[in-house]
């Protein structure tokens, strides 16, 4: 509560309140609530303007008591006057911010917010489960990280952003906290285990901030207010488990040493657009089924070995690519950059001479193949109709495909 007489205590409380507001205002369950927040912010900015004026007046009126570290009164008075001037300048800029905020407040007051459309969450979760590796999945996913139990489940989307709700439980104390502010990128559906890893990353940041606060007494680390204090402390004591969880999918088996992938097809332009439309309409598994028409078995394997399009551990991907695996195939695609690639897991050791010949090309794992994919089988009329194309989009013209660095991303 404000003291109205102790500027030190009230300033500290105002800072803490603003940090809490910054965290709490990430999600509004009812957008109409923003109007009340607007009103409080307008009043707060007006009060802040008075604070700046009073700080400036204090520096100006008490300049005869100002000295520098060497005891020079002239230098101290000059610094006090400079501080007062800068505070007055800040107040002038704050007046402009106040006018803009007040205008936004007026516009917001003219909005009649309608209720959020009713979402069939069960149907939504079923659709999400059907698209996760093509296998049924439970809507609720729980993973243990040391003494913390992390649980996530799909929540109602907010605009184009998929939202996950989460629960954090300290199994040693029984304390629990829930939230609904774990989001994916715009237009992105994400595996719940990826949501678990993101939650573990946020908890790791909170734990590190807690440790920093203990090491540096009186400091205010950047991520200090992400979670309640007991969560930050629990995250600090489970640092190693959270770090491991944030880097690895607990449901994904370790890749065997020497696992390799060969390129089956890589499409750009209109051909890629047709496949991207198919992904949006029917899912990544449908695209994998269609693109498998590029795979001629031994012929494709031999071509990849001869041209050096074999990759160790994982297919080449970039930071904005998405990757979906289905059986022995891995599909990589990027709506923004407009490309699609299909890779097949390769278990047979290559001929030593071919392996030696391909080393210069495969050393740069982020490069896309420089060759057009092997000619595909003729697509059926039904396949072409499903893609909305009049021609066989499997047929790839000869030529060079541009390179694009890529890395794993959902």
d(CA 378, CA 28): 52
Torsion angle of the four alpha carbons 339, 340, 345, 351, in this order, in degrees rounded to the nearest 10: -50
Q: At residue 401, does pLDDT exceed 80?
A: no
In this predicted structure, what is the pLDDT of residue 258? Answer: 53
HSE of 126, CA atoms in CB hemisphere, 13 A: 5
User: Where are the domains positioned within the chain?
Assistant: 31-108, 121-247, 260-387
d(CA 271, CA 338): 9
What pLDDT band is residue 255 in, cutting at 50, 70 and 90?
A: very low
Q: Which of 120-134, 293-307, 347-361 has the lowest mean pLDDT?
A: 347-361
How much is the CA Rg of the chain, to the nearest whole Å? 29
Which residues, other chains included, contact 324 with Cβ-Cβ below 8 Å and sequence gap of 6+? Answer: 133, 284, 285, 288, 330, 331
> Residue 407 in 3-state DSSP?
coil
Model pLDDT for residues 350-372, shown as the tens digit of each residue:
444 444 444 444 333 334 443 33
Model pLDDT for residues 1-23, shown as the tens digit of each residue:
788 889 998 888 888 888 888 88
- Is the model's pTM score more than 0.85? no
Where residue 327 falls (left for φ over 0; alpha for ψ -120 to 50; beta otherwise) is left
Quickly list DSSP for 62-115.
Answer: TGGG---TT--HHHHHHHHHHHHHHHHHHHHHHHHHHHHHHHHHHHHTT--PPP
In this predicted structure, what is the pLDDT of residue 319? Answer: 64
Q: At residue 186, does pLDDT exceed 50?
A: yes
- State the average pLDDT over residues 286-291: 89
In this predicted structure, what is the pLDDT of residue 190? Answer: 63
d(CA 245, CA 255): 16
The residue with tokens 């050791």 is 349
| DSSP element (H, E) containing 185 | strand 176-186
Q: At residue 288, does pLDDT exceed 70?
A: yes
């Amino acid at each position: 509560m404000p003291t109205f007489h102790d500027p030190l205590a009230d300033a500290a409380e105002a800072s803490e309140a603003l940090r809490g507001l910054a965290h709490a205002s990430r999600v509004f369950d009812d957008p109409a609530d923003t109007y009340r927040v607007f009103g409080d912010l307008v009043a707060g900015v007006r009060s802040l303007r008075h604070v700046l004026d009073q700080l400036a007046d204090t520096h100006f009126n008490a300049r005869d008591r100002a000295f520098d570290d060497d005891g020079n009164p002239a230098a101290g008075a000059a610094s006090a006057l400079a501080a007062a001037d800068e505070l007055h300048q800040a107040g002038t800029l704050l007046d402009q911010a106040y006018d803009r905020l007040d205008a936004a407040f007026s516009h917001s007051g003219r909005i009649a917010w309608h209720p959020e459309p009713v979402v069939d969450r069960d149907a939504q979760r079923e659709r999400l489960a059907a698209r996760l590796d093509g296998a049924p999945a439970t809507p609720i996913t729980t993973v243990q990280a040391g003494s913390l139990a992390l649980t996530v489940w799909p929540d109602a989307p907010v605009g184009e952003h998929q939202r996950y709700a989460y629960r954090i439980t300290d199994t040693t104390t029984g304390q629990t906290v829930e939230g609904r502010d774990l989001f994916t990128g715009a237009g992105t559906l994400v595996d719940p285990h990826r949501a678990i890893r993101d939650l573990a990353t946020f908890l790791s940041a909170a734990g590190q901030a807690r440790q920093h606060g203990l090491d540096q007494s009186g400091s205010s680390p950047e991520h200090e207010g992400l979670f309640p204090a007991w969560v930050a402390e629990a995250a600090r004591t489970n640092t190693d488990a959270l770090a491991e969880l944030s880097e690895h999918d607990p449901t994904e088996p370790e890749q065997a040493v020497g696992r390799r992938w060969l390129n089956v097809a890589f499409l750009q332009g209109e051909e890629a657009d047709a496949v991207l439309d198919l992904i949006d309409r029917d899912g990544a598994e449908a695209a994998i089924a269609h693109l498998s028409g590029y795979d001629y078995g031994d012929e494709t394997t031999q071509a990849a070995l001869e041209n050096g399009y074999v990759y160790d551990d994982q297919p080449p991907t970039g930071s904005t690519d998405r990757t979906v695996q289905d059986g022995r195939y891995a599909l990589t695609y990027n709506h923004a950059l407009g490309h699609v690639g299909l890779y097949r897991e390769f278990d047979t050791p290559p001929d030593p001479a071919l392996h030696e010949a391909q080393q210069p090309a495969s050393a740069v794992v982020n490069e896309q193949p420089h060759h057009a994919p092997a000619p595909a089988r003729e697509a059926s009329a039904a396949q072409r109709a499903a893609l909305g194309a009049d021609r066989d989009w499997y047929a790839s013209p000869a030529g060079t495909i541009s390179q694009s660095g890529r890395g794993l991303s959902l």
